[in-house]
């Protein structure tokens, strides 16, 4: 099936009619986040985001674009690999017998609308980590099992985006069921769609669509080209693994550590970070205990606690762990980079530490 023009409102209605719980971008608490949507009216019509190091703000547009923004503080990891999930519950009966009930993970039909190309890449990396190993994660597998991905090409990148360096955008190449390009012309927004899977093609066939003209396809290419030209931030990936491993003892890590607050914001907003901790919680009666899995961050002192204490006690050591794993260790561990160039870690760092600037500085040290 070739590209078609579709009615976005009908697309969402059809998803709901087919029993999908539909999630997409919505405005909440001054940000564009992923939340439940039931109609096209729930989308952030006429809004964009202004981003820089340590800066995020919503700004009104002068057109009816629904996807005229880059990315918000949440990634789709929030739904696929939740920050908090119960592993099991243990109960002690009146006669002293102990019963353990493992949490069962039910699959729910869900549709994600507005998935950016960089986020498709992030989901693919999470799939690799949590599904493709010898011990697939059952919670993630259930959450991922019946998801329809409605991707939207990026037409409005932020100043912190560097997906072109990572090969993940602004155009989506794979991993979606349906790919949409939003075409905004004055006071009108149109939607060009094409399938990326058999399920996506069958879904589009059920909608009222019109064949795309060559002018439509040309306009869609212009959106991608214009977005790519606006992305000026760069991260040189060639040899970055060797650069970082060569500079493990660089004094620059201490300089970064003097700025870093070790708040963990970069790991919380990162769409690929996957580390978790297990916490046992008992009730006051002493008869019930629950084990919960929570997101963890390598910026926490307890993350590296071994024997008498943490072996990465300084902010410099913790930032070095995060950055070298993301850009270097991932390549050894998983065969691909842990960074997709979404720029969230730059935007949501309270002091604006920029991973691209730091990578360039270490490269300059090696060259010198």
- H helix or E strand, kind and range, residue 112: strand 110-115
Task: Answer with the residue of higher pLDDT: 180 or 302.
Answer: 180
Q: Do 46 and 86 share a domain, yes or no? A: yes
What is the per-residue pLDDT across 136-181, written as a single tens digit (0 to 9) for each?
999 999 999 999 999 999 999 999 999 999 999 999 999 999 999 9
Q: Do 147 and 208 share a domain, yes or no? A: yes
What is the per-residue pLDDT across 42-81, written as a single tens digit (0 to 9) for each?
999 999 999 999 999 999 999 999 999 999 999 999 999 9
In a domain, 214, yes or no: yes
Q: Do 252 and 223 share a domain, yes or no? A: no
In a domain, 315, yes or no: yes
Whole-structure pTM value: 0.94
Q: Do 142 and 32 share a domain, yes or no? A: yes
Q: Do 254 and 211 share a domain, yes or no? A: no
Separation CA 252–CA 271 (nearest Å): 26
Q: Do 131 and 195 share a domain, yes or no? A: yes
In a domain, 185, yes or no: yes
Q: Do 60 and 177 share a domain, yes or no? A: yes
In a domain, 285, yes or no: yes
Last residue of a domain, one of 196, 230, 264: 230
In a domain, 97, yes or no: yes
> How many domains in the chain?
2
pLDDT at 252 over 70: yes
In a domain, 330, yes or no: yes
Q: For 231-259, what is the mean pLDDT?
A: 97
Q: Do 282 and 171 share a domain, yes or no? A: no
Kindly report the backbone phi and psi dihedral angles of residue 171, in degrees, each rounded to the nearest multiple of 5, phi listed first: -100, 140
Q: Do 117 and 96 share a domain, yes or no? A: yes
Lowest mean pLDDT across 90-94, 111-115, 178-182, 267-271: 90-94
Last residue of a domain, one of 230, 260, 288: 230
In a domain, 235, yes or no: no
Q: For 196-214, what is the mean pLDDT?
A: 95
Q: Do 166 and 257 share a domain, yes or no? A: no
Structure confidence at residue 306 (pLDDT):
83
Q: Do 162 and 84 share a domain, yes or no? A: yes
Residue 30: give the domain boundaries: 4-230
Q: What is the DSSP secondary structure assignment for residue 23, as one 8-state letter?
A: E
Structure confidence at residue 1 (pLDDT):
55
In a domain, 363, yes or no: yes
Sequence-ordered list of residues with C-beta below 8 angstroms from that of 219, at least 6 positions apart, any chain: 183, 192
Q: Do 222 and 247 share a domain, yes or no? A: no
| Contact assessment for residue 195 and residue 1, using Cβ atoms and an 8 Å cutoff | yes
Separation CA 203–CA 297 (nearest Å): 39
What is the per-residue pLDDT across 337-364, written as a single tens digit (0 to 9) for each?
999 999 999 999 999 999 999 999 999 9
Structure confidence at residue 186 (pLDDT):
80
Last residue of a domain, one of 230, 258, 275: 230
Q: For 311-327, what is the mean pLDDT?
A: 95
Separation CA 153–CA 114 (nearest Å): 8
pLDDT at 263 over 90: yes
């Amino acid at each position: 099936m070739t590209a078609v023009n579709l009615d976005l409102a009908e697309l969402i209605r059809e998803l709901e009619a087919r029993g999908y719980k539909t999630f997409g971008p919505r405005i909440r608490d001054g940000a564009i986040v992923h939340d439940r949507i039931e109609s096209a009216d729930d989308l952030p019509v006429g809004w964009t985001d202004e981003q820089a190091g340590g800066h995020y703000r919503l700004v009104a547009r002068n057109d009816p674009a629904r996807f005229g923004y880059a990315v918000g503080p949440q990634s789709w990891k929030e739904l696929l690999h939740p920050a908090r999930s119960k592993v099991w519950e243990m109960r002690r009966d009146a006669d002293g017998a102990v019963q353990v009930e493992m949490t069962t993970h039910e699959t729910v039909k869900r549709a994600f609308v507005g998935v950016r190309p960089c986020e498709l890449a992030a989901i693919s990396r999470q799939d690799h980590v949590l599904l493709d190993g010898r011990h697939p994660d059952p919670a993630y597998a259930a959450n991922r099992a019946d998801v329809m991905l409605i991707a939207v090409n990026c037409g409005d990148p932020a100043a912190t985006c560097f997906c072109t360096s990572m090969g993940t955008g602004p155009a989506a190449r794979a991993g979606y069921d349906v790919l949409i390009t939003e075409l905004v012309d004055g006071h009108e927004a149109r939607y060009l769609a094409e399938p990326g899977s058999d399920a996506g093609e069958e879904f589009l066939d059920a909608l009222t669509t019109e064949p795309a003209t060559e002018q439509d396809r040309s306009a869609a290419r212009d959106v991608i080209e214009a977005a790519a030209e606006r992305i000026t931030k760069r991260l040189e990936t060639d040899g970055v693994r060797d650069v970082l491993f060569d500079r493990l003892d660089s004094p620059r890590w201490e300089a970064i550590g003097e700025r870093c607050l070790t708040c963990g914001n970069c790991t919380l907003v990162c769409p690929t970070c996957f580390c978790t901790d297990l916490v046992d919680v008992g009730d006051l009666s002493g008869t019930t205990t629950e084990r919960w899995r929570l997101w963890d961050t390598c910026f926490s002192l307890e993350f590296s606690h071994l024997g008498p204490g943490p072996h990465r006690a300084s902010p410099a050591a913790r930032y070095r762990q995060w950055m070298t794993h993301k850009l270097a260790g991932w390549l050894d561990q998983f065969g691909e980079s842990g960074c997709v160039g979404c720029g969230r870690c730059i935007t949501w760092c309270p002091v604006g530490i920029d991973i691209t600037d730091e990578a360039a500085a270490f490269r300059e040290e090696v060259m010198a």
